[in-house]
Structure 1
Amino acid sequence: MATEELNKPPSIPPYPQMIMEALDALKQTEGANKSAISKYMESKYGEMPAGHADLLSHHLNRMKDSGELLFIKNNYVKPGPDAPQKRGRGRPPKPKEPLPAGAIAAAPRPRGRPRKDPNAPPAPKKPKPPAGPPSISKTGRPRGRPRKVNPQPVQNEVEA
């Protein structure tokens, strides 16, 4: 993508500038579609670089995502001065209440768990449980699933 932009003739301005010029010159109330913008650019600047359609699509999408252009009914339009700001992704932040007069703002707390105090006395050690077989707990049963028991073969003898 970047190499195509470097190979364009020096007489052609950057794509965002050409797109804005095209929208100003076309002066359509409902905006202009991609083909109308492309035709205007070709008529004004003559031969366009290789991959012009891809470059135009890329810049139109980027300008649409950044809020420089609006995409309404398959047409690109400049946002008006009273247009609402485009909101970013995620939940918007809560509105902050102003501090009362004379109050000093506290420093924000750092994220994450607070560091240990190096001057604090060491914490007491936990008492160890009474010694016993390691696999048997207080209930007297070993931990985990019980072992399989081999079944005894049943002998069917007929008594006479």
Structure 2
Amino acid sequence: MATENSNNNPPQTLPPAPSLPQYPEMIMAAIESLNEAGGSNKSSISKHIEETYGNLPAAHMTLLAHHLNRMRQSGELVLVKNNYAKPDPNAPPRRGRGRPPKPKALVPPGAVVAPPRPRGRPPKPRDPFAPPPPLKKKSSGSGRPRGRPPKKAKTTTTTTASAAAPAPRDGSPRGRGRPPKVKPAVSPVVC
């Protein structure tokens, strides 16, 4: 019997939720219906949408801010003194950042375009009757080769302790570090 009752009763379905229009459509409708002279601010647009459409998602303010920014960047809305308004149809198109490109001259069909000028300073004009200049070797100007000269090889072998520091001039072996101060010899005082 349980199977007969379950087949006869249709499954319980939730009533379809009223569909909301997309946020850009709601925003444009709110701005049109508010019809404020300087445009409408975000809070008045939000209040109008809440009053008109009732059940909105929990992230309504975040979604509204996101769509307002996206519509402003795409040019659908204009932001003037924190108020959003429709752009003026007679206004000139919005320019991008930086200097605008130079207008290119129209080239008639069949015309040959010269190659662009090479970079750098142009060469000096040559005298056609002068003899060609002699070929020069690439050198730095002096007879020496470029760079630091190599170290000279050591001719004498020394122990590891004295190899770290050069030998003193008097020939005695020297230890590491600064030598101690020499104290003057005190002569005995004879009274």
TM-score band, normalised by shorter chain: 0.5 to 0.7
Secondary structure at the aligned position of 1:94 is classed as coil
Counterpart in the other structure of 2:169: 154
State the 1:96 CA deviation: 2.3
Which consecutive unaligned segments of at least 5 residues does structure 1 have? 1-8, 110-137
Counterparts of 2:100 and 2:39, CA distance in 1: 30
Instruction: Give the TM-score, by structure 2 length.
Output: 0.52
Q: How many residues align?
A: 118
1:85 aligns with 2:86: no
Residue 105 of structure 2 is aligned to residue 97 of structure 1: yes
Worse overlay, 21-30 or 79-88: 79-88
The Cα shift of 1:47 comes to 1.4
Give the distance between the partners of 1:141 and 1:96, measured in 2 at CA: 52
Give the alignment of 1:1-160 within 5 angstroms.
Answer: 11-100=19-108, 103-104=109-110, 139=143, 143-144=147-148, 146-147=150-151, 151-155=166-170
Hey, what's the Cα distance between the residues in 2 that align with 1:97 and 1:152?
79
Change (3 A) 1:147 1:80: same
Residue equivalent to 2:131: none
Aligned-residue sequence identity (percent) comes to 51
Q: Aligned equivalents of 1:67 and 1:99: distance in 2?
A: 34
Unaligned stretches of 5+ in structure 2? Answer: 1-16, 116-141, 155-164, 173-191
Residues 98/143 of structure 1: CA separation in 2 closer, same or farther (3 Å cut): closer
Larger Rg, first or second structure (1 or 2): 2
- Tell me the amino acid that sits aligned with residue 57 of structure 1: A
For 1:76, what is the secondary structure of its paired residue?
strand
